[in-house]
Structure 1
Amino acid sequence: MPRAVYVLSLGIFTMVTSEFAVAGLLSPVAAGLGVSVSQAGYLITAFAAAMALGGPVLTVVLSRVPPKTALMALFGVFGAGNVLAALSPNYALMLLARVVTGAAAQAFFGLSVSLAARLTRPEVRGRAVAVVMNGLMLGTLLGLPMSTVVGERFGWRTAFWAVTLLAAVAAVATAIGLPRLAAAGAERFGDQLDVFRRRALWLALATSTLVIGATFAAFSYFTPILTDITGFASGTVPLLLIAYGAATVVGNFVVGRLADRHDVAVLAAGLALNAVFLTGFALYADVGPLAVAAMIGIGLVGVTMNPAMATRVHRAGNAGPLVNTVHGSFITFGVMIGSFAGGLAIDSVGLRGPLWLGAVLALGGIATVLPELLRRGRRGRGADPAAPPTTAPDMLCVAES
């Protein structure tokens, strides 16, 4: 695996740490800005919305720029956003800071996945995406508690200064470790959009939304479920969430090994297992060992489907930056749908509601995968003749001399 792939993972770890910073410091941020906790929570929504809507726009703007230059520009925008967050005297400027960092983070995600595909051979792309996505898993495992500890000990603004410093380190590593490549966006914007006419691509994007939506419907409310239903002390929950994060790292590694050859089968199996774990959690949330086992299971087969999701999207569309960024937007929609609908489920049926909702979304995801899985099964283990070629604009570019 090229060294540059690991460098990209460090960048994503930095972006995810910033994304989760507000979630771990809601009360201090709300107090510091003189707003309610619910208003502070809208900063998380603003970040996600900027990722989903602003990320693709920023990707198009940078599509004709060499990727190394584009990444450095994104680090600059991202760093400026975090500095603004650390200095924000009021809620309006903090909101602007989250929008800026959210758009930069999503564009960075899409470009990083595209570069991972570009820097590696086709037969190991799934593994490369898994390495890059380890930045996301480690951000959940380490970045969230790290920013929370720093913010609680030294003040919430210090957490954003720490992320800014981490972004500077990642930018230096990128400048040193990433090779110089030609820009991948020689196509006109209209030509880049042509790929979105493919039904198979939209089906793959829908699957990704449902995979993430099912997981985040539950993940968003793990803490109240574990304390109010399962009966764990509040001080125990962070340890359980660390165990969940460790499970995502393990699951991401396994899925990355399988995604290149069995992307659709892995997605079908992962969704089926997730539905089982979510259902089990809902049924036995009041039984400590079973609840923890179900939660760890969700960690193993939830967001860890990312490498298989990316491989399927590449085969249905291409591995270009715009496709990857739009894919990231659909993943973000899954986060927004899962967390928002999970809250509605709590209002309707109580704290077990998000778990039942997650199981339903996982079953919906299976419905989007099953037709392709059956078609591939009928045609044998070879590539699906109906699938579009995987040639992407970025694969036609050559390294700069």
Structure 2
Amino acid sequence: MPVAIYLLSLCIFAMATSEFMVAGMMPSLAAAFQVSLPEVGNLVSAYAASVVVGGPVLTLWLRSVRRKPALLSLLALFLLGQLLGASADGYPLMLASRIVCGVAQSAFFGVALALAGELVGPGRIARAAGLVLNGLMLASVAGLPMAALLDQRWGWRVSFWLVAGLVGLAMLGIAALTPAGSAPARQEAGEEMRALARPALWAAYASSGLIIGSVFAVFTYLAPIFLQVSGFSAAMVPILFGAYGAATVLGNLLTSRLADRHTRRVLQGGILTLLVAMTALALGAQWQALTVTALFLLGLAGLPMNPAMVARVVRAGGSGAMVNSLHMAVINLGLMFGAWAGGLCLDAGWDLRAPVWLGAALALLAWLSLSLDRRGDSWQAKARPADVSV
């Protein structure tokens, strides 16, 4: 793999750490800005909303810019947002910081995946995407715990400054070691816009949104399930999440190697694994051994389906930045919906198993969306027949 792929992964790691770390320092931010915990939670929602809305708009504006200058511009915008957050002396400035970072991150994901596809060719798109998106997995395993530890020892600003420094370092690497990339021609841009009208592409988007929604309907409420249903001690919760993160990294490494040639099978196997794991967790969360097994399967088959989802989207709509940016927006919509709908289940008075059943229902819908889409252009457009097995 070209060294640029690993630099892009470093960028994604820094950006995802910035996105996740606010959730790990909510009490500190609430005390610093003298606001309530729900208001700090709105910082997370604002970030996700800016990814959904602002990213595609910025990507459209950058559609005629070469990949490398576009990446550097987006990294500079993200760095500006991160610096605003690090120096924020009030809640409004921190909110503005989150919005700027969210817009830059969404557009960066789209351009980064487009450049990755350009560098490696159609036969290795899923593997390259898996390596790029491995930064996302590592952010949950290492970035979030690191930020929480720094917050406890030296204050929340240290994490913001550290991420800003990491982004600056990544910018230098991109500037020195990444090819300029091609500038999308008008014909290519027009083809990409026409691709957005393809039903096969939106079927792929729907599957991605449902899969991620399924995962986060469960993931959001794992901590209280561990404590109140499975009976684990509070000291075990970080260890359990660490095991989940390790399974996620392992699963991503496996699927990134398989997804190019076996896209449909990876998605089918992953969704079935989610259904089995969620059903087992919903029925047997009172047994700790079963909970740990289900947790490992959730990590192995949930987020690691990202390379296969990217491969399917590329085959349906091409590897353009707008197609990938919209895919990231749909994934974030799924994330927001899963967490929100799981909360509605609890607000309705149901117990902590209800979000798990909701996750299983969304996974079943993802399976149906996959099963109903049997057309060849959903899976093999933009790829050589030898590259893809379905």
Q: Normalising by structure 2, report the TM-score.
A: 0.95
Q: How big is the shift at 1:385?
A: 6.1
Structure 2 counterpart of 1:259: 259
CA contact (8 A) 1:11 1:170 kept: yes
Change in Cα spacing, 1:151 to 1:187, as seen in structure 2 (3 Å) is: farther
Q: How big is the shift at 1:285?
A: 1.1
- Structure 1: which 5+ runs fail to align? 377-383, 392-401
CA contact (8 A) 2:74 2:104 kept: yes
Matches for 1:155-166 after TM superposition, within 5 Å: 155-166=155-166
Q: How big is the shift at 1:389?
A: 3.4
Structure 2 counterpart of 1:77: 77
Secondary structure of 2:204 counterpart:
helix
Change in Cα spacing, 1:387 to 1:280, as seen in structure 2 (3 Å) is: closer
Alignment pair present for 1:361 and 2:353? no
Letter in 1 for 2:235: G
Structure 1 counterpart of 2:274: 274
Alignment pair present for 1:390 and 2:382? yes
Q: How big is the shift at 1:192?
A: 3.5
Alignment pair present for 1:151 and 2:151? yes
Could you tell me how far apart the structure 2 residues matched to 1:125 and 1:173 are?
A: 22
Letter in 2 for 1:203: A
Could you tell me how far apart the structure 2 residues matched to 1:287 and 1:106 are?
A: 40
Q: How big is the shift at 1:371?
A: 2.5
Could you tell me how far apart the structure 2 residues matched to 1:62 and 1:70 are?
A: 7
Could you tell me how far apart the structure 2 residues matched to 1:169 and 1:10 are?
A: 9
Matches for 1:80-229 after TM superposition, within 5 Å: 80-184=80-184, 186-187=186-187, 192-229=192-229
Q: How big is the shift at 1:193?
A: 2.1
Change in Cα spacing, 1:386 to 1:30, as seen in structure 2 (3 Å) is: closer
Could you tell me how far apart the structure 2 residues matched to 1:189 and 1:256 are?
A: 27
- Structure 2: which 5+ runs fail to align? 384-390
Could you tell me how far apart the structure 1 residues matched to 2:178 and 2:190 are?
A: 29
Q: How big is the shift at 1:191?
A: 5.1
Query: Which of 154-163 and 327-336 deviates more?
Result: 154-163
Could you tell me how far apart the structure 1 residues matched to 2:20 and 2:304 are?
A: 18
- How many residue pairs match? The answer is 382
Secondary structure of 2:318 counterpart:
coil
Secondary structure of 2:60 counterpart:
helix
CA contact (8 A) 2:122 2:382 kept: no
CA contact (8 A) 1:317 1:388 kept: no
Q: How big is the shift at 1:129?
A: 0.8
Structure 2 counterpart of 1:284: 284
Could you tell me how far apart the structure 1 residues matched to 2:53 and 2:33 are?
A: 26
Structure 2 counterpart of 1:59: 59
CA contact (8 A) 1:282 1:356 kept: yes
Could you tell me how far apart the structure 1 residues matched to 2:124 and 2:222 are?
A: 34
Secondary structure of 1:273 counterpart:
helix
Could you tell me how far apart the structure 2 residues matched to 1:185 and 1:22 are?
A: 39
Q: Normalising by structure 1, report the TM-score.
A: 0.92
Could you tell me how far apart the structure 2 residues matched to 1:358 and 1:116 are?
A: 31
Change in Cα spacing, 1:362 to 1:217, as seen in structure 2 (3 Å) is: same
Matches for 1:341-356 after TM superposition, within 5 Å: 341-348=341-348, 349-356=350-357
- Give CA deviations for 1:47-90 in whole Å, capped at 9, x if unaligned: 00001111111111112111111111111111111111111121
CA contact (8 A) 2:78 2:100 kept: yes
Could you tell me how far apart the structure 2 residues matched to 1:304 and 1:92 are?
A: 35
CA contact (8 A) 1:258 1:266 kept: yes
Could you tell me how far apart the structure 2 residues matched to 1:53 and 1:360 are?
A: 27
Change in Cα spacing, 1:89 to 1:371, as seen in structure 2 (3 Å) is: same
Determine what percentage of the aligned residue pairs are the same residue: 44
Could you tell me how far apart the structure 1 residues matched to 2:238 and 2:151 are?
A: 16
Q: CA RMSD in A?
A: 1.5
Change in Cα spacing, 1:83 to 1:185, as seen in structure 2 (3 Å) is: farther
CA contact (8 A) 1:63 1:185 kept: no
Q: How big is the shift at 1:231?
A: 1.4
Could you tell me how far apart the structure 1 residues matched to 2:378 and 2:78 are?
A: 40
Structure 2 counterpart of 1:26: 26
- Give CA deviations for 1:289-315 in whole Å, capped at 9, x if unaligned: 110110111000001100000000011
Matches for 1:370-381 after TM superposition, within 5 Å: 370-372=371-373, 375=374
Q: How big is the shift at 1:184?
A: 2.1
Q: How big is the shift at 1:258?
A: 1.2
Letter in 2 for 1:323: V
Alignment pair present for 1:249 and 2:249? yes
Q: How big is the shift at 1:182?
A: 2.6
Change in Cα spacing, 1:185 to 1:146, as seen in structure 2 (3 Å) is: farther
Q: How big is the shift at 1:388?
A: 7.0
CA contact (8 A) 2:316 2:377 kept: no
Secondary structure of 1:151 counterpart:
helix
Could you tell me how far apart the structure 1 residues matched to 2:194 and 2:139 are?
A: 34
Q: How big is the shift at 1:186?
A: 3.3
Change in Cα spacing, 1:249 to 1:105, as seen in structure 2 (3 Å) is: same
Could you tell me how far apart the structure 1 residues matched to 2:124 and 2:73 are?
A: 28
Could you tell me how far apart the structure 2 residues matched to 1:205 and 1:99 are?
A: 24
